[in-house]
Amino acid sequence: MPAAGRRVLVSGVGGELGSLTASLLEDEPWVSSIVGIDADPPRRRLRRTEVHVVHPSDRERIVDTVERFDPHVLVHLAVWEPEARANSSIAPLLTHQAATAFLGAAAECPSMEAVVARSGIEVYGRRPGAPTRPDEDSRLDPTTAYGRSLFELEHAATSLGASAGVRVARLRLASVVGPHLPSPLGRLLRQPVVPFSLMSDSPFTVVEQIQAARSFVAAACARYDGALNVVAPGAITLYQALRRGRRIPMPLLGPEWFIARRVSHLFGAPIPDHVMEVIHRGRLADGGRLAAALGVRSTTTAAEVIDRLHAWPSVIRVRTPSEALAS
Amino acid sequence: MNATASVTPLSNARSATPAPGPSVVDEWGRDQATVDVLEPFVRLRFHVRSTGLEHLPDEGGALLVSTNRRWSWDPMVAAFEITRRTSRTVRVAGRSDRAPGGAALRRLGGILARPDEVATALDEGDLVMVAASPSVAQRRAGGVDHRLLAPAIERGLTILPLAVLSSPLRRRVRMTIGEPVRAGSRRRGPLADVERADATRARLDEMLTEVAASMRRGSSWRA
């Protein structure tokens, strides 16, 4: 447990993961004050987090806010997954701008002790012959735009650690899916008719947002230095996920994917290249080191995470005040 | 103002409750349901008689090095038999990484023939089978890739030779697991792996000869 009175900065606090992490940090006894920065306001009520709504392109304002706060720990969650909250062409740019501003400002803060950066298992890539379940020591060889974006972020964070002498934890998350989470994979799985690859139907894994958030808090508390995979135990294939959600599976062989992607986009579930890779090549990772390093253990399997995604009702009935009082 | 809720649930045919029961694959993509479906067909096609299963550890990882006759399914048939007899998962290193063949073999427990894949599977306490290179001669084992043995040697795990005698056209298959292959010298460098691989191959040759001789004698094999 670090000494009390530590200041923590959370970038990307407006997202589901960011606001959940900030709310968990608020309960940590070693955290004295929290500042959160994002382009959007947080998605849940935060009791003692001071939130600044700043666009990632406004570097000067971000640097000014960070330097004035002079944090001990930076939890960097300002990562835009393509087609989650931004489209495929803008997402890498936003991620790059945020990394430059936050990590650059962190390097100038005299109190800075540790950085915890959000990355993803997309950095390992899924080139033919790549390891089925890469661990943290496996070679980084991203094969998608999102993977390359995360690879650059990790490189920037590692460089910051070397130059400023701070500990840098890189948490490589599987696809974070669940209720309320903007995720292209989650949207695809919730469609009534979902295409899947008849030729491969490869297994993939996911992670629940609460496990991801707990991992960030634990890494910040432990001042962890290095990379860790954060994945739910178990795996599932797309076809199995669709059967569990009682969706209609549409088997595809190859060329018709071109049309399927466009039709899916038209119905509000665009399929970016890293999700296409999941469909065709799968995406697994060995998450065994996380429990040993941080003591974070998840009992929610990949199949259960998918079940919770499907259990999220399409429409939530809003109760009127009179109905609420009557019940 | 009438405060009746303006949002009503869709009459959705899909239930919010997940469908119960559909199987899921394990962390490597192996599908026990697929294995269970195929198992009777494998037994229909191959009549396997096995010996030496007592050499397998009851728990924890171990590396099996199997003979691999060209145009045969020896490693996969052996993996099915070991799983049937011991209820332990066997991961066979050597699947392709191309669909659909590689994807199908992954469902049956195939992993890539990479030292890091073998190492991860051994760390999880699985039985891992690596195959010698394909051999045309029935009583000669092919070369054994020492790089795939290295993870087991580093971890001090048992390396077991597995001789399989089969014919592409016949139903009878003879399979025997030998005693663990011990280190012949006290080498600590890379030569230790190479020499252990050579020793394993030599042991496989001996076992194939022994199995063929016992078949000629018509000795009884425990089914």
- pLDDT, mean of each 10-residue run, chain B (223 residues): 38 41 83 92 93 94 93 91 94 92 93 95 95 87 92 93 89 93 73 89 93 73 44
Give the mean model confidence (pLDDT) for residues A214-231. 96
Structure confidence at residue A1 (pLDDT): 72
Cα–Cα distance between B79 and A260 in angstroms, integer? 39
Cα–Cα distance between A232 and A305 in angstroms, integer? 8
Q: Are A229 and A289 in contact (CB under 8 A)?
A: yes
Classify residue A257 as exposed, middle or buried by CB count within 10 Å of its CB (0-12, 13-18, 19+): middle
Which of these, A17, A11, A23, A25, lies nearest to A212 by C-alpha position? A17
Measure CB to CB from residue B5 to each of A133, A203, A319 and give the nearest one: A319
CB contact under 8 A, A245 and B18: yes
Structure confidence at residue A180 (pLDDT): 83
Structure confidence at residue A245 (pLDDT): 92
CB contact under 8 A, B25 and A129: no
- Terminal Cα-to-Cα distance of chain A (whole angstroms): 44
Query: B103 touching A, CB under 8 A?
Result: yes
The rounded percent of chain A whose pLDDT value lies above 70 is: 99
Cα–Cα distance between A27 and B40 in angstroms, integer? 56
Average pLDDT, chain A: 93
- The alpha-carbon gap from A257 to the nearest alpha carbon of chain B, in Å, equals 16
Query: B98 touching A, CB under 8 A?
Result: yes
Structure confidence at residue B139 (pLDDT): 82
* Mutate: best of A198, A201, A320, partner B, most B CBs <10 A: A201
* Mutate: best of B11, B25, B34, partner A, most A CBs <10 A: B25
pLDDT at A65 over 50: yes
- The alpha-carbon gap from A323 to the nearest alpha carbon of chain B, in Å, equals 9
The 3-class secondary structure across B30-52, one letter per residue, is CCHHHHHHHHHHHHHHCEEEEEC
Give the mean model confidence (pLDDT) for residues A188-213. 93
CA B161 vs CA A234, B64, B199: distances in Å? 31, 6, 10
Question: Which residues in chain B are contacts of A203 at CB distance < 8 A?
Answer: 25, 28-29, 106
| Residue A185 parent element (H or E) | helix A184-189
Query: B12 touching A, CB under 8 A?
Result: yes
Classify residue B125 as exposed, middle or buried by CB count within 10 Å of its CB (0-12, 13-18, 19+): middle
pLDDT tens readout for residues A15-52: 999 999 999 999 999 999 999 999 999 988 999 999 99
Classify residue A227 as exposed, middle or buried by CB count within 10 Å of its CB (0-12, 13-18, 19+): buried
Structure confidence at residue A236 (pLDDT): 95
Map tokens 């569990």 to a residue: A244
CB contact under 8 A, A128 and B15: no
CA A7 vs CA A25, A39, A50, B68: distances in Å? 11, 21, 12, 61
CB contact under 8 A, A132 and B9: no
Q: DSSP label at B69?
A: B
pLDDT tens readout for residues A145-154: 999 999 999 9
ipTM: 0.83
- The alpha-carbon gap from A318 to the nearest alpha carbon of chain B, in Å, equals 6
Question: Which residues in chain A are contacts of B26 at CB distance < 8 A?
Answer: 234-235
Measure CB to CB from residue B117 to each of A132, A192, A282 and give the nearest one: A132
CA nearest to A198 within chain B: B100
Which of these, B92, B167, B101, B86, lies nearest to B132 by C-alpha position? B92
Structure confidence at residue A74 (pLDDT): 97
Measure CB to CB from residue B120 to each of A135, A311, A322 and give the nearest one: A135
Structure confidence at residue A321 (pLDDT): 74
- The alpha-carbon gap from A57 to the nearest alpha carbon of chain B, in Å, equals 38
| Residue A170 parent element (H or E) | strand A167-173
Cα–Cα distance between B122 and B125 in angstroms, integer? 5
Structure confidence at residue B55 (pLDDT): 95
| Type of residue at A327 | S
Map tokens 């430059």 to a residue: A100
Structure confidence at residue A319 (pLDDT): 75
Query: A191 pLDDT band (50/70/90 cuts)?
Result: very high
Measure CB to CB from residue A235 to each of B26, B103, B112 and give the nearest one: B26
Q: Tally A–B CB contacts below 8 A.
A: 118
- The alpha-carbon gap from A167 to the nearest alpha carbon of chain B, in Å, equals 27
Which of these, A182, A140, A186, lies nearest to A278 by C-alpha position? A186
Measure CB to CB from residue A138 to each of B8, B111, B116 and give the nearest one: B116
Cα–Cα distance between B165 and B208 in angstroms, integer? 7
CA nearest to B99 within chain A: A200
- The alpha-carbon gap from A30 to the nearest alpha carbon of chain B, in Å, equals 36
